[in-house]
Structures are given as structure tokens and as C-alpha cells.
Amino acid sequence: MRKKGFFRGSKKANAITDTIMVIVFLFGFAMFSTTAYVIFNSVQADLIESVDGAEAKQVATDIGTNYPLWFDGAFIMAFILLWLFVLGASLFVETHPLFFIIAILMFVFIIIAAAIISNSFAEIGEEQEYQAIQSDFAKTFYIMNHLVEFCMVILFSVGGVLYGKSKL
């Protein structure tokens, strides 16, 4: 008995939906990490003043300096791991060679969605609060501003796996 996919009646569409989920997750993660840092920066001075003890003040300062490094690195790690997940998932999906042609047509819609999300993130990044932290989250802003190009690389690698698997 075949297992049913989450979005469709079969598992054949998972390569497309997995790629869409990667784009949405990356956007959400980038928005969460940068917004949390903007909020923390706005309350950090008040937090340091209101806390008693040198150790507590040092912890608040350390969080402010280490946060961008942790979350920028976590974003890169999530990007690479999700890319590998999508490649692995597309390797294990049962597909007919005809699906490769349908997948290419779906890739166009995914590229359009990536362009919309990338432009949305770029518009948010133009706000004054986010411009101040762009150097702290250099990798995150670079990937999100070039999401279309990265998405095309992911899609072509998924397409290569789907096409190559059908030739085995």
C-alpha cells in the first residue's frame, strides 16, 4: 500500500512542496532572528542599567555581541541542511520520468515565489532598524537578497536528482 503525501494524494509532489517549505522556513527564520535582534538592541541599554551585578551586565552584553554570530551561523547551517534534506527526499520519492517535465513547469512558480519573498525581505531590510544590523547578519541578508539564485541552484540540483534517478 502506498503512503499518502501531505499535500497531494501521492508522494510525487514532495520535491516541489519540500522546496517551497524550505523557502518559507528560511524566510521565517531570517525574520525571527533579525527582528529579535532589533528588539534586543532596543532594550539592551535599559536592561543593562536595570540589572544589578557586574556578572548579569556582562551576560547581557555578551548576548548582544554573540547573538548575530550564533543566528547567522544557524541560518547558514539550516540552509545547507534543508538543501540536503530536499535532495535526499527527492532521491527517495517514486517518480515517473514524465513527472520531470511537470516539475520543470512547477519550478517557474517556485522561482516567482522566491522572488516575492526575497523582495519582501529586501523591503523590510531597507527600514532604518534593519539597515543598522545588516553587517551583523551579513550571511542571512546575502542569502535572502539572492534567494532567487540560491533557489535556482536548489531546484536544478533537485531536477538533476529526479532526472538522474530515472536513468538508473
Q: What is the pLDDT of residue 32?
A: 95
| Residue 141, C-beta contacts closer than 8 angstroms, at least 6 positions apart | 125, 134
- Residues 19-48 have pLDDT tens digits of 788 889 999 999 999 999 999 888 888 888
Q: How far is CA 111 from the centre of its chain?
A: 14
The cell numbers describing 25, all together, are 522556513
Scored b (16 or more CB within 10 A) or e, 106-129 reads bbeebbebbeebbeebeeebeeee
Q: Write down how long the chain is.
A: 168
CA atoms within 13 A on the CB side of 75: 25
Nearest to 33 by CA among 167, 157, 148, 125: 125
What percent of the chain is modeled with pLDDT above 90?
Answer: 36
- The pLDDT confidence band at residue 56, using thresholds 50, 70 and 90, is confident
Distance CA 11, CA 89 (A): 10
Q: Do 64 and 44 contact (CB within 8 A), yes or no?
A: yes
